[in-house]
């Protein structure tokens, strides 16, 4: 998960936009358990007001 965040070129939550989080969903490696972790992270970032909520069923 940390490696995927670094693909955003920043480990800071402030830099995780809706677009950046959507781009992290694209790699096939982000399916399964990693996708669930990303969904949780996306919800947390959205709760902080830094991104839109994740798409339902993601």
Q: From the first residue on, what is the mean pLDDT of each consecutive set of 10 residues in the chain (58 residues)?
A: 67 81 80 80 90 81
What's the pLDDT score for residue 47?
93
Alpha-carbon span 1 to 47, nearest angstrom = 19
Do 51 and 21 contact (CB within 8 A), yes or no? yes
Enter the pTM of the model. Answer: 0.71
Alpha-carbon span 45 to 20, nearest angstrom = 11
């Amino acid at each position: 998960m940390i490696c995927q965040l670094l693909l955003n070129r920043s480990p800071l939550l402030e830099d995780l936009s809706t677009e950046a989080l959507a781009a992290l969903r694209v790699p096939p490696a982000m399916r399964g358990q990693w996708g669930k972790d990303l969904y949780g992270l996306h919800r947390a970032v959205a709760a902080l007001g830094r991104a839109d909520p994740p798409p339902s069923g993601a």
